[in-house]
Structure 1
């Protein structure tokens, strides 16, 4: 009974935390296409298309550098770029660009055997792991050679940041984990004593006799009236915290070894596979939909661009992207006909920024517009 009450005491703060992170207000469908003159701060695409209705459109190829895209999505598949110089499934690099069967783009987060990277470290964790063999036993900067002190400072800063994040995430995970356990028990009891899809009215009218079930009723009475709370959002946030602890900030988790390349060797550009719909493609699919979901088909949403082909370049795992993959994807896009490169990602540290910058300059010289959010 005491354990239940202690867990219940966490309910309010945990629920508020989850509602803040995942809660959303209902918005007007297609608001992003509207114009400020209509009182809605969209991009004004509908008005733009009205003004341009007598102009012949030009097809634009947009490279989506992201987590991957569901190329079979019913609202995207008609707008997915198809490499005109590659024959699907023949195992041959028909266009001699270094990538075999790159029909819709390329996946830089995999290997030739079809294994794909999903969970990954954050860059700060990779920096720590790389420097730890040199500095983890050293207590003071005075014991470090002068030429190594910059690396030592980088190591100590990384160590401090990781420890701070692990401590904060561990505490929050314990809170959310306890809340999830008590909510799961309350939810199961309500479904058994009320009905499978119980409502807030059902919970408010519930008259349990057992003390622990009364506590469950009290918890659910508040949660079922909160429009921003759901079991799915609770489970999602629990998984997010678990991933931070197991993968993002865990130096013992080595994320990329199975790919077989050296992420610090930028001379190797040709690795990966053609599985652009690999794990964790939800963010990339979302971004691709904003750019180029098929318009006027009555399915889902309308993308902003009506005459677009989406070149898919999988570069972002569930963690931080690698500079090498970003640089190579930018070069791929520029060399294979992209007019625009869309990049919806970011991280706190970029150890090989100069190589990424070289790739950006390469794309710029080819007249490619790059958009980063």
Structure 2
């Protein structure tokens, strides 16, 4: 039974879609299709139980198993595993073949239940990273009534998983830029090399990452799901007022304009504050859902203000992102002690900021 989704391929924003699913604590199977590649994510109350892709085939499972358990996953075990995997692919059940194969490894006592959880997690990182780079496609959220017929090896927090994918991409990006040969042109819908840094490609709209687009890419996708959760909606309906009030305390006008530019028409309503004397009073008027706060502004120590707001009963639960011209370890330690949720150096990496917003607001 299809609970929600699109029928034809159109603009698709996986980060926003995942934010909705997590915020609504959806249970079911998310299936995304783009250029004949299918992704399958098994969800239970907004948590990820398993993720795989037809793009992976057996290769991803073999690679991750070998990486994690080289002494156990011998050539003989791999040959047996591939035969077991292939029978489900031939039966048209490719998106459960990986999970069934992991279960086979456990049943044959090649790996333990906990080790199976490690393998599931490794596959999830690969799958989610590639999914986040899709720009066009279709999706549906299906009932998964027989989900308990499959062992649950682990339960993964999608927000933490997205953040990990981004951090890994950051760590390999410099090496990739230095050593990678010139690549041939790839379809814009699906890019084979997994990197969250490439979510935003030249020509792609940065606003789409957290946008409830006016073109109805989701067609109110989750409103019809009923009583899966009483959690508040993470994204505004088309045409409605923005859902989140973001207050930026910064006197850097150029940065404010850039922020408005790539958050325009998103779920955020942006208010800027550049007067230190009225900053706290202005916050009280705005009722912010999230605060961006510079560490250095004339007459203002951002660390001290962050600490004050963190202790204030009205703002103690409001996430604060500290912005700094410097990215040293001292600043990060001071930010943590002041109660900041994140510490970001300027100039701000737009993709990184989007991921931080996602992790804070779903």
User: TM-score under structure 1 normalisation?
Assistant: 0.22
More strand by share: 2
- Relative contact order higher in (CA < 8 Å, ≥ 6 apart): 1
User: TM-score under structure 2 normalisation?
Assistant: 0.23
Which structure is larger by alpha-carbon Rg, 1 or 2? 1
